[in-house]
Amino acid sequence: MIVALKPGVEKEKQEGLVSWLKSLGLDIHVSAGQYQTILGLIGDTSKIDTELIESLDIVDSVKRVSETFKCVNRKFHPDDTVIDVNGVKIGGGNFCMIAGPCSVENPDQIVEVARAVKSAGANLLRGGAFKPRTSPYDFQGLGKEGIELLKIARKETGLPIVTEIMSVSDLPLFEDVDVLQVGARNMQNFDLLRELGSFGKPVLLKRGLANTLKELLMSAEYIMASGNDNVILCERGIRTYSDYLRNTLDLAAVPMLKELSHLPVIVDPSHATGIARMVPPMALAAVAAGADGLIIEVHNDPIHALCDGAQSLKPDEYAVLSKKIEAVREAIK
Ligand code: PEP
Ligand code: MN
């Protein structure tokens, strides 16, 4: 249920209403918008007398929210959420360019790629240290050492780092990571999502290979309901009938997610297509569809990459794409 307050309500009166609602056993999510404050009521609201609340002089309107996702719901928070990652803002018109290799391989590789993507316009560095590989015989990532190398690259370039967490037990290693990525395969690892809620650092939540938008939003709800409002949603392609492409990029998910939720929505055209030359057109299409950012795999030597070389752009290709992204952003302003 949402309770919209009249503009300019006195703080004391608002607090009085919030504590009364809390005394009824509800959790209250307060969203102070530009024009109006919205109280999101979470819990069993079936016995709440909506007419009584509506009759209060500070209340503008009361509406029941039928969707099962509450905290992530735009009805609870009409303004776009803006996430601040060490000064880099994501959402609410702030476009993020996350780029870097699929996996961190060695110090030279990660620092070279970090420098190159930074000079091409990226504002966050990606790189997997813990890799979810289909085969147990493939490169599994450098683990703890990979995170240390990302920190070196951050020191060299100033770019905040984004890296994937696969297991709750690894969380202590992520204390100094800027954005924790939850990969497609872990989207419904509810224990992990809950822990990330209390961990408090920004989370990049990727849509599962065969998950609906509602399921993605419910996974984000787990994180938010556990106390962390900093969630970025990511469309990275789903399994359909694609034969020549790794996945099917569901671009309509972007405007739909942005309608349903206030959270930033970004797109990963690398995993969506699996082919480097398909990345630029889909990246530009994602920008045109209203994405709040892109996460793109870039490698200094794709042919010898230990993971996902076929879908990795070379730094100069990323630089060319970056200019076109600017142009599309300008065109749709
Ligand atoms: C990745 O970003 O390297 C990755 C494994 O992505 P996804 O979880 O989308 O497959
Ligand atoms: Mn990858």
CA of 126 to the centre of ligand 1 (A): 11
Please give the average per-residue pLDDT across 8-24, as a whole number. Answer: 94
Looking at the predicted structure, is the pLDDT value of residue 265 above 90? yes
Q: Between 80 and 48, where is the model more confident? A: 80
Q: Is 77 close to ligand 1, i.e. is its CB under 6 Å away?
A: no
Checking if the pLDDT of 235 tops 90, the result is yes
Question: Distance between CA 299 and CA 309 in Å, rounded?
Answer: 7
* Residue spans per domain, the chain: 2-63, 83-331
Q: CA 177 to CA 136: how far, in whole Å?
A: 26
pLDDT of 257 > 90? The answer is yes
pLDDT at 237 over 90: yes
The per-residue pLDDT for range 297-329, each reduced to its tens digit, is 999 999 999 999 999 999 999 999 999 999 999
CA of 217 to the centre of ligand 1 (A): 18
**SS3 letters for the chain?**
CEEEECCCCCHHHHHHHHHHHHHCCCEEEEEECCCCEEEEEECCCCCCCHHHHHCCCCEEEEECCCCCCCCCECCCCCCCCCEEECCEEEECCECEEEEECCECCCHHHHHHHHHHHHHCCCCEEECECCCCCCCCCCCCCCCHHHHHHHHHHHHHHCCCEEEECCCHHHHHHHCCCCEEEECHHHCCCHHHHHHHHHHCCCEEEECCCCCCHHHHHHHHHHHHHCCCCCEEEEECCECCCCCCCCCECCCCHHHHHHHHECCCEEECHHHHHCCHHHHHHHHHHHHHCCCCEEEEEECCCHHHCCCCHHHCECHHHHHHHHHHHHHHHHHCC
Per-residue pLDDT for 88 more than 90? Answer: yes
What the block records as the tokens of 36 is: 């109006």
| pLDDT, average across residues 195-213 | 97
Q: What topology does CATH give the domain 83-331?
A: TIM Barrel (3.20.20)
Tens of pLDDT along 152-185? 999 999 999 999 999 999 999 999 999 999 999 9
Q: Is any atom of ligand 1 closer than 6 Å to the C-beta of 48?
A: no
For the chain, give the percent of residues with pLDDT over 90: 95
What's the whole-number mean pLDDT along residues 261-268? Answer: 98
Q: Is the pLDDT of residue 205 over 90?
A: yes
Ligand 1 probe mutation, 131, 203, 206, most atoms within 8 A of CB: 206
* pLDDT tier, 204 (very low <50, low <70, confident <90, very high otherwise): very high
Q: Is the pLDDT of residue 39 over 90?
A: yes
pLDDT at 236: 98
CA of 133 to the centre of ligand 2 (A): 9
Report the C-alpha gap between 249 and 237 in whole angstroms. 4
Among the ranges given (27-36, 146-155, 319-328), the one the predictor scored with the smallest mean pLDDT: 27-36
Q: Inter-axis angle of helices 213-225 and 253-260, to 10 degrees?
A: 40
Question: What pLDDT does residue 292 have?
Answer: 98
Q: What is the mean pLDDT of residues 132-144?
A: 96
Q: Domain 2-63 has what CATH class?
A: alpha beta
In the chain, the percentage of residues whose pLDDT exceeds 70 is 100
Residue 46 has pLDDT above 90, yes or no: no
Ligand 1 neighbour 206 (Cβ under 6 A): yes
Whether residue 66 has pLDDT greater than 90: no
Tell me, in angstroms, the distance from the centre of ligand 2 to residue 111's CA.
18
Ligand nearest to the CA of 163: 1
Backbone dihedral angles phi then psi of residue 235, each to the nearest 5 degrees:
-90, 125
Confidence of residue 34 (pLDDT cuts 50, 70, 90): confident
pLDDT at residue 35, rounded to an integer:
84
128 lines ligand 1 (CB under 6 A): yes
